[in-house]
Structure 1
């Protein structure tokens, strides 16, 4: 009988040691442990070691680090009726471990599903030109929509960025033609402005030449000099108008 009691005590002691070891836990710096006692939510254990009451308490660990997830490509229609394929990258993390455990079954999957739905909604409320030219505003709108949804789950979205945007080939050609027309318009405007400035300068030069005696002759001589330097050919020089007028006056005397 004493041997039976000693064997039974050994078994109890061994069970007690096993339960004590199982009730001891460690949370990493990035982990939080949500403690339940007989099914009731109790407290959240921070990083470091902790003890649980054997057979009465259990813990659910939540990783608090940022999760990066590439959303699947979504096919949707923009506000102006253009079918597009778009995907995005999502950064999110848990901020309230108790809410994450008690309000949603699979919180990572729930956030991803909400993000994909919000992406389609954000694109559907925007025109194609805005999506192509100002993705920042689309990202901000999507972040606002998604933030309100996941807040109730104890989750926050740090950022969401549109990654790729595919549009129909005919729409790509139309955009290319539009860009070419805009460039041609700018070129014509620049050319017209240059001609306007040149005409103003020529008008000013003509006015100065008309007001200053001998200016026209100096300009003529300069032109002849430039032609002689650039082209070794026969040069026809016009007789100065001042000499012609002087000859006429002498002839009439």
Structure 2
């Protein structure tokens, strides 16, 4: 067999391989094939072996696994006119391959652009404090809006997460001062509440002691006992209390 014959066989085998590969496809478990016949939608096939009619049918692969998309940093003006930079991540997947191919030219790019505009519009309706403290609620709202708008494309948005909310250094200092002032206010309120409660209890105790002179004398004696253990203190005891105690003791002795 001449070299020319061998070369011709190899070329023929290569052409045959290309011909067969053009209409024999193997789809993985997480893939589907959207098949068109003469330009019209035919059906969704897969997974497994898919055989196409050469020159009549064409197929586009679609992945059904959850896709992860980073939303680039967006400049957002909050409701209280504070400039921030916000980025996020979106998790979505194709649930209807036919719609994902027919209804939109590029469903990944379309979802990304929609996520950017939705992020700016939704966060622009909230103040900075809400962006920082209500992130879970904002994530839920963003997911619902994106899911509703991408439903006609056969896309299911499963989760949206706001990653970072960045502000300039001057605003950070202002927020730190505001937080410090809030802590001072709370401390003063707690201290005032404690003083109010203490004064109320002392007033009640004074009323009870006023109704029982003997209780007042016992209170003085208890106080005297507590401070007498420290010899560094000079104790001044009211003479009227001593007189009353002496008179009481004299009366009891007689």
TM-score (norm 1): 0.83
Q: What secondary structure does 2:72 align onto?
A: coil
Which residue in 2 is equivalent to 1:242? Answer: 244
> For 1:21 and 1:69, how far apart are their aligned partners in 2?
32
Shift, 1:20, TM fit? 4.4
Q: What secondary structure does 1:140 align onto?
A: helix
Which residue in 1 is equivalent to 2:6? Answer: none
What does residue range 72-151 of structure 1 map to in structure 2 within 5 Å? 72-151=72-151
Q: What secondary structure does 2:229 align onto?
A: helix
Which residue in 2 is equivalent to 1:223? Answer: 223
> For 2:14 and 2:140, how far apart are their aligned partners in 1?
59
> For 1:22 and 1:52, how far apart are their aligned partners in 2?
8
Which residue in 1 is equivalent to 2:159? Answer: 159
> For 2:52 and 2:248, how far apart are their aligned partners in 1?
123
Which residue in 1 is equivalent to 2:27? Answer: 27
Range that drifts further, 87-96 or 161-170: 161-170
Shift, 1:118, TM fit? 1.0
Which residue in 1 is equivalent to 2:202? Answer: 202
Which residue in 1 is equivalent to 2:4? Answer: none
> For 1:33 and 1:142, how far apart are their aligned partners in 2?
30
Unaligned runs of 5+ in 1: 1-10
> For 1:225 and 1:87, how far apart are their aligned partners in 2?
69
Shift, 1:120, TM fit? 0.9
Range that drifts further, 157-166 or 120-129: 120-129
> For 1:63 and 1:93, how far apart are their aligned partners in 2?
8
> For 2:174 and 2:62, how far apart are their aligned partners in 1?
50
> For 2:228 and 2:142, how far apart are their aligned partners in 1?
71
Which residue in 2 is equivalent to 1:7? Answer: none
> For 1:146 and 1:71, how far apart are their aligned partners in 2?
13
Deviations 1:175-214 (A, max 9, x none): 2222222222221121111111111221222222222232
Q: What secondary structure does 1:93 align onto?
A: strand
Distance 1:13 1:246, change over 3 A: closer
| Number of equivalences | 238
CA RMSD of aligned residues (A): 2.6
Shift, 1:41, TM fit? 1.1
Deviations 1:54-81 (A, max 9, x none): 2221211101110111111111211221
Shift, 1:89, TM fit? 0.8
